[in-house]
Amino acid sequence: MPILTIASFKGGPGKTTLCQIIASHCAAIGLRIAVIDADPTKAMSDWHKSTYEGAAFTCVHEISERRIADLALDLDQINDLVLIDTAGFGNLAGAVAMTVADNILVPLTAGAADLNQAEETIKQAKGLASAARRQIEVRAIMNRLSRTNLTKHAEVELRSAGIPTLTSTISHRTAFGEISYSGVLPTKGPGADEVQALIAELTKIGWIPSNAPGLNQVEPS
Ligand SMILES: Nc1ncnc2c1ncn2[C@@H]1O[C@H](COP(=O)(O)OP(=O)(O)OP(=O)(O)O)[C@@H](O)[C@H]1O
Ligand SMILES: [Mg+2]
């Protein structure tokens, strides 16, 4: 089953938020989900332990570059999807998390610095895939999107830089910003529609297994 690592060279583009969105939605549709929180800040695992209120999934904090790969492969045996949330700076644990992945998601927000970090993260992923002599798919995703000129500029730049990017985007919304302390995801409205579209696209490209009992039927709780 797929291992999906969420990575970025720069802090703060939305790795943990995307991990929370994907893990909770996939758990809500009946997939067995395991998350490895490979960030020393423990943002994902603390949230899972103390704040999250949705459908159950496994979340383990592991920052040792020596243990992450084996842990991911073990969790992969007993889950439908393993997600790895990495730290917002390049470290060896992050590189191992990228190398063990089948797929890497690189969030970015509008702006030259983020575009640059996405390019660098993608180059890093390609280098690691070559070193490991295996195929690792990489896609960027636009997060905190707002309908400004800057955003439109970033979309054009992404295309011209040849960065493979998901069609679905996640907007800048209070409902997403609140996840970190409310523990709940938007279940209706435009935010929920964006999450549905993202899950549908990830399922279509095979990054999320398509055997979920409740795929397209159950709203995330
Ligand atoms: N789509 C969004 N709309 C509104 N707020 C968002 C959105 N995505 C992320 N945020 C907020 O932006 C901040 C950074 O997001 P997040 O912690 O997910 O980034 P990160 O890449 O995991 O950061 P780090 O590199 O520090 O781990 C958080 O306060 C989060 O709530
Ligand atoms: Mg984070």
What CA–CA distance (Å, rounded) separates 45 from 51? Answer: 10
- Note whether 34 and 79 are within 8 A (CB): yes
Sign of CA dihedral 217, 3, 85, 67: positive
Give the ranges where the chain is alpha helix by DSSP (H).
15-28, 43-50, 68-77, 92-100, 112-132, 149-160, 174-177, 179-182, 190-204
Q: Which residues have C-beta atoms less than 6 Å from ligand 1?
A: 8, 11-17, 39, 43, 88, 143-144, 170, 172-173, 176-177, 180
What's the pLDDT at 213? 77
Structure tokens at 173: 């919304």
Whether 214 has a pLDDT exceeding 80, the answer reads no
Closest CA to 170 of 200, 149, 153, 190: 190
What are the boundaries of each domain within the chain? 3-204
Q: Could you tell me the distance, in angstroms and rounded to a whole number, from the CA of residue 50 to the centre of ligand 2?
A: 16
What's the pLDDT at 151? 72
Whether 220 has a pLDDT exceeding 70, the answer reads no
Residue type for position 190: P
What's the pLDDT at 48? 98
Quick: pLDDT tens for 61-114. Answer: 999 999 999 999 999 999 999 999 999 887 999 999 999 999 999 999 988 788
What's the pLDDT at 204? 96
Quick: pLDDT tens for 112-167. Answer: 788 888 999 999 999 999 999 999 999 999 999 887 766 777 778 888 888 899 99
**Cα atoms in the 13 Å half-sphere on the side-chain side of 214:** 15
Quick: pLDDT tens for 155-208. Answer: 788 888 888 999 999 999 999 999 999 999 998 999 999 999 999 999 999 999
Quick: pLDDT tens for 130-141. Answer: 999 999 999 999
What CA–CA distance (Å, rounded) separates 214 from 217? Answer: 5
Q: What angle do CA 165, 46, 87 make, to 5 degrees?
A: 40
What's the pLDDT at 78? 96
Q: Could you tell me the distance, in angstroms and rounded to a whole number, from the CA of residue 8 to the centre of ligand 2?
A: 10
- Which atom of ligand 1 approaches the CA of 17 most closely? 18
What's the pLDDT at 166? 94
- Average pLDDT for 37-55: 97
Quick: pLDDT tens for 9-19. Answer: 889 999 999 99
Structure tokens at 103: 């797929």
What CA–CA distance (Å, rounded) separates 80 from 3? Answer: 9
- Assign domain 3-204 to its CATH architecture: 3-Layer(aba) Sandwich (3.40)
What's the pLDDT at 212? 72
Given pLDDT bands bounded at 50, 70 and 90, which one contains residue 7? very high
What CA–CA distance (Å, rounded) separates 141 from 77? Answer: 27
Q: Could you tell me the distance, in angstroms and rounded to a whole number, from the CA of residue 106 to the centre of ligand 1?
A: 13
